[in-house]
Amino acid sequence: MNKTLLMVFIFFGIFFIDQAVKYAFVFHNWGVEGSCLSFQLAYNYGVAFSMFSFLKEYLKYIQLTLILIGIIYLYFNKEVLKEYSFSITLLLAGGLSNILDRFTYGAVVDYIYWHCGFEFAIFNLADMIINLAVAIIIYKQIWGKKEQKA
């Protein structure tokens, strides 16, 4: 299987799984209370930790614009796209899934709530995928440079 086809498969796999789970929470009342981890429906009108929620009506357009700018950048910097194709695929899948939530539900659908020892923000699969992509990029930036020097 060629790399581009694999990235398309990964993108749609993540995107559709995330959307299916969110749909189940919204329309089928999924939810489980646990001692450390709960799964409960919440709507996030802002971005991370509900920041910028005052922009809720405009965030979907701002985020789409940022993704478009990123795609234009990648078009002109194909070496970046080639080196970070997996991370970019993850970022786009998670980011576009959350943006679709804004158009579909008026906010991002969150459902994973960590509350063991401390309370953490409620998040979703797309958020975890985005964070994984950023961690991979940071790892490659730090340790990739060290390997090039050696």
Catalytic residue numbers read 110, 127
Tell me how far apart the alpha carbons of residues 138 and 140 are, in angstroms, rounded to a whole number: 5
- From the CB of residue 122, how many other CB atoms can be counted at a distance below 10 Å? 23
Helix (H, G, I), strand (E, B) or coil at 32: strand
Would you call 128 exposed, middle or buried from its count of C-beta atoms within 10 A (0-12, 13-18, 19+)? middle
Could you give the angle at which helices 125-149 and 3-27 cross, rounded to 10 degrees? Answer: 150
**CA dihedral sign of residues 108, 106, 101, 94:** negative
